[in-house]
Amino acid sequence: MLDELGDGLKRDIISVLDMKDDFEHILSNAVKMKKDHKKGQKEPLKGKVLGMVFEKPSLRTRISFEVGMGQLGGRAIYLSPDEVSIGKRESVSDVAHVLSRYVNGIMYRAFSNQVMRELAQNASVPVINGLDDVEHPCQCAADMLTILEKKGKLAGLQLTYVGDGNNVCNSLLLGAALVGMNMRAATPKDFRPNADILTKAQEIAQAKGCKLELMSNPFQAAEGADVIYTDTWVSMGQEKETSEREKLFLPYQVNARMAERAKKDFLFMHCLPAHRGLEVSAEVIDGPNSFVFDQAENRLHAQKAILVAVMA
Same domain, 103 and 186: no
Same domain, 259 and 281: yes
Same domain, 156 and 231: yes
Q: What letter does residue 124 receive in the DSSP assignment?
A: S
Same domain, 28 and 146: no
Same domain, 289 and 156: yes
Structural domain that includes position 268: 139-296
- List, by residue number, the catalytic residues: 109, 136, 139, 231, 271, 299
pLDDT of residue 224: 98
Rounded distance between C-alpha atoms, residue 187 and residue 311, angstroms: 37
Same domain, 147 and 274: yes
CATH of the domain at 272: 3.40.50.1370
Same domain, 128 and 173: no
pLDDT of residue 215: 98
In a 10 Å sphere around its CB, with 0-12 CB exposed, 13-18 middle and 19+ buried, how is residue 130 labelled? Answer: buried
- Domain-embedded: residue 190: yes
**pLDDT above 70 (res 3):** no
75-115 residue pLDDT tens: 999 999 989 989 888 999 999 999 999 999 999 999 999 99
- Domain-embedded: residue 3: no
Q: Which of 122, 91, 84 has its CA nearest to residue 6?
A: 122
Is residue 273 reached through a cis peptide bond, with omega within 30 degrees of 0 on the bond before it? yes
pLDDT of residue 41: 65
- Domain-embedded: residue 1: no
- Domain-embedded: residue 7: no
Same domain, 118 and 187: no
pLDDT of residue 8: 55
pLDDT of residue 252: 98
- Domain-embedded: residue 8: no
Helix (H) or strand (E) holding 228: strand 227-230
**pLDDT above 70 (res 273):** yes
Q: Which of 307, 304, 306, 299 has its CA nearest to residue 145?
A: 299
Same domain, 173 and 282: yes
Same domain, 95 and 222: no
Number of domain units in the chain? 2
Same domain, 108 and 245: no
Binning pLDDT at 50, 70 and 90, where does residue 236 land? confident
Q: What letter does residue 111 receive in the DSSP assignment?
A: S
| Average pLDDT, integer, range 133-156 | 98
**Length of the chain counted residue by residue:** 312
Same domain, 96 and 241: no
pTM, whole model, 2 decimals? 0.95
